[in-house]
Amino acid sequence: MQRIELPECPTCGNTVELFCKETRWAGTAQIRCVGHHHIGMGYSPGGEQGARAELFRRWQELTELETQGKNNG
Which residues of this protein are in contact with Zn ion, per CB under 5 A?
9, 11-12, 33, 36
CB of 52 to Zn ion, least distance (A): 19
CB of 28 to Zn ion, least distance (A): 21
Is the CB of 27 or the CB of 56 nearer to Zn ion?
Answer: 56
- Return d(Cα 39, Cα 18) in angstroms, integer: 10
CB of 47 to Zn ion, least distance (A): 27
Distances (CA, A) of 23 to 3, 10, 41: 23, 31, 14
Query: Amino acid letter at 29?
Result: A
Is the CB of 33 or the CB of 51 nearer to Zn ion?
Answer: 33
Nearest CA-CA partner of 55 in 30, 33, 36? 30
Is the CB of 17 or the CB of 44 nearer to Zn ion?
Answer: 17
